Amino acid sequence: MTTPDTSSREVLRLVALLRQIDQLLYKVSQSPDWETMRPHITALCEGMYDRMRDESDRIRTLMIPQIREAYLDASPPAQPKLTGPSDDD
């Protein structure tokens, strides 16, 4: 297993995202009541929903071609036509 390059943009983006989440959680913990907590909770939830949607889209983009290929490869071979007794008998 290779260690990711800590200078990569993706790593830096994730670190910044974790810092932002930590700051929002800290603000929630320091809020004296629900009304002052609510905007921070809303920001946390919106960020979570955005990340979930992005991840779902990323997975869908990767998986749909593979699923289509699997179904095309798994098509059953042509089956012989089954016939029953004829009506003339």
Angle between helices 34-73 and 9-30 (to 10 degrees): 140
Cβ–Cβ < 8 Å for 24, 43: yes
* pLDDT tens readout for residues 52-67: 999 999 999 999 988 8
**Rounded to whole angstroms, how far apart are CA atoms 17 and 33?**
25
- The whole-number pLDDT of residue 17 equals 93
Closest CA relative to residue 28, chosen from 37, 17, 16: 37
Cβ–Cβ < 8 Å for 44, 28: yes
- The whole-number pLDDT of residue 74 equals 73
**Residue 72 pLDDT level (bands cut at 50, 70, 90):** confident
pTM of the entire predicted model: 0.58
**Rounded to whole angstroms, how far apart are CA atoms 67 and 21?**
35
Average pLDDT of the segment spanning 17-42: 95
